[in-house]
Amino acid sequence: MATLRILTANLWNGGADPDRLAALLEHHRVDVAAFQELAPEQARAVARVLPHGRLEPHRAHLGMGIALRHPAEVSRLPLPCRDARLARLAPPGWPVGERGLEVVNLHIMGFHVWPWLRSHRIRRAQLRGVLAYLATSPARPRVVVGDLNATPGMGVHRRLARHLEDAAVVAARRAGRTPAATWGPRPGSPRLLRIDHAFCRGVRTARVEVVAIPGSDHSGVLVELEADTAAAVAPDSRPQAPSR
User: Could you tell me if residue 237 is inside a domain?
Assistant: no
Write down the pLDDT at residue 2. 80
- In this model, does residue 244 exceed pLDDT 90? no
CATH number at residue 112: 3.60.10.10
**Residue 184 domain-assigned (yes or no):** yes
Mean pLDDT, the chain, rounded, equals 92
Confidence (pTM): 0.92
| pLDDT value, residue 1 | 56
Nearest to 162 by CA among 131, 139, 141: 131
> 195 lies in which domain range?
4-229
23 belongs to a structural domain: yes
8: pLDDT strictly greater than 60 = yes
**14 found inside a domain:** yes
Does residue 238 fall inside a structural domain?
no
105 within some domain:
yes
Of 35-49, 71-85, 218-232, the one with minimum mean pLDDT is 218-232
* pLDDT (tens digit per residue) in 154-177: 999 999 999 999 999 999 999 999
pLDDT band at 227 (very low <50, low <70, confident <90, very high): low
Q: Does the residue 9 lie in any domain? A: yes
Share of the chain above pLDDT 70, in %: 92
Total number of domains constituting the chain: 1
